[in-house]
């Protein structure tokens, strides 16, 4: 099971939001230094999100992301405003290990199928949910029509085998992940899940580790690491 540190970028800084709201805390003005720190601590992958891109519809921190990729020797999964095929191609060409798609994948089924056909294992879909509703455009809007389970079932039919799942009501809160929601999604879809949102303690990691056989393949951790609730080295004991 992968333990994946998160680096959320806004205006060139490493930040964390709470429940997707625009009030933020800045943890570093040097994202490259942060990335190198997590590599030294033993990370096998980094989860990097361009929050400016998620809100505006196009990445704003690509130069930083490219610098990170050139400077470290582990894969980087990256998302935030990736909404066309040309950008996916560019990101893959500069070394992004896995491109994260969200809004465009949810809103445009034709694009989703084309992206999978062309890039397959180079893309992963991020599901941001609130009360079983899909959130889009940087969590600012609720997608009308599809529920979370229905959309994940569609992804499975297309050929996807793994998703990132975030309960936005938990994200950045340090109150623990939505175990019930993750279990429900695993049971109803059989999709492999990288769990994100709300991780607060090593006990949370232990709970998710117990769900590895059911399909939890990774855990993205942000605020708990930045707030020193535990170290990455401690977390990696659950990998």
Instruction: State the pLDDT at residue 155.
Output: 97
> Domain boundaries in the chain?
2-238
* Crossing angle for the helix pair 179-189 and 202-209, to the nearest 10 degrees: 20
Record the pTM. Answer: 0.94
> Cα-flanking dihedrals φ and ψ of residue 186, to 5°?
-60, -45
Instruction: State the pLDDT at residue 10.
Output: 93
* Residue of 50, 52, 128, 204 marked catalytic: 128
Architecture of 2-238 per CATH? Alpha-Beta Barrel (3.20)
Report the C-alpha gap between 124 and 42 in whole angstroms: 23
Instruction: State the pLDDT at residue 146.
Output: 82
The answer to whether residue 50 is catalytic is: no
The answer to whether residue 204 is catalytic is: no
**Residue whose tokens read 């938990």:** 170
- Dihedral sign for Cα atoms in the order 130, 158, 79, 182: positive
Per-residue pLDDT of the chain (239 residues; tens, 9 = 90+): 999 999 999 999 999 877 665 567 999 999 999 999 999 999 999 999 999 998 888 899 999 999 999 999 999 999 999 999 999 999 999 999 999 999 899 999 999 999 999 999 999 999 988 877 887 755 455 656 788 999 999 999 999 999 999 988 777 778 899 999 999 999 999 999 999 999 999 999 999 999 999 999 999 999 999 999 999 999 999 99
User: Which element (helix H / strand E) includes 237?
Assistant: none
Coil, strand, or helix at residue 200? coil
Instruction: State the pLDDT at residue 227.
Output: 94
> Cα-flanking dihedrals φ and ψ of residue 137, to 5°?
55, 55
Instruction: State the pLDDT at residue 186.
Output: 97
Instruction: State the pLDDT at residue 12.
Output: 96
Both tokens of 46, joined, read: 């980094």
Report the C-alpha gap between 61 and 8 in whole angstroms: 10
Instruction: State the pLDDT at residue 131.
Output: 77
Both tokens of 2, joined, read: 């992968």
> Cα-flanking dihedrals φ and ψ of residue 108, to 5°?
-135, 95
């Amino acid at each position: 099971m992968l333990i994946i540190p998160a680096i959320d970028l806004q205006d060139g800084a490493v930040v964390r939001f709470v429940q997707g709201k625009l009030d933020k805390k800045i943890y570093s003005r040097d994202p490259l230094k942060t990335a190198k720190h997590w590599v030294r601590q033993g990370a096998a992958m980094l989860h990097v999100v361009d929050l400016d891109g998620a809100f505006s519809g196009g990445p704003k921190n690509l130069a930083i992301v490219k610098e990170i990729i050139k400077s470290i020797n582990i894969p980087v999964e990256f998302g935030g405003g990736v909404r066309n095929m040309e950008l996916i191609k560019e990101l893959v060409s500069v070394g992004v290990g896995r491109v994260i798609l969200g809004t465009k994948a949810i809103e445009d089924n034709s694009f989703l199928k084309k992206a999978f056909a062309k890039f397959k294992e180079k893309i992963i879909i991020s599901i941001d949910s609130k009360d079983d509703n899909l959130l889009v455009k940087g969590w600012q809007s609720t997608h009308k029509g599809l529920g979370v389970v229905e959309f994940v079932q569609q992804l499975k039919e297309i050929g996807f085998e793994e998703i990132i799942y975030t309960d936005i009501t938990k994200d950045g809160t340090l109150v623990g992940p939505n175990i019930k929601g993750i279990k429900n999604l695993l049971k109803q879809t059989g999709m492999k899940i990288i769990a994100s949102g709300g991780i607060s303690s090593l006990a949370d990691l232990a709970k998710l580790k117990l769900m590895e056989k059911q399909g939890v393949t990774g855990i993205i951790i942000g605020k708990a690491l930045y707030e020193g609730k535990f170290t990455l080295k401690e977390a990696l004991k659950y990998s």
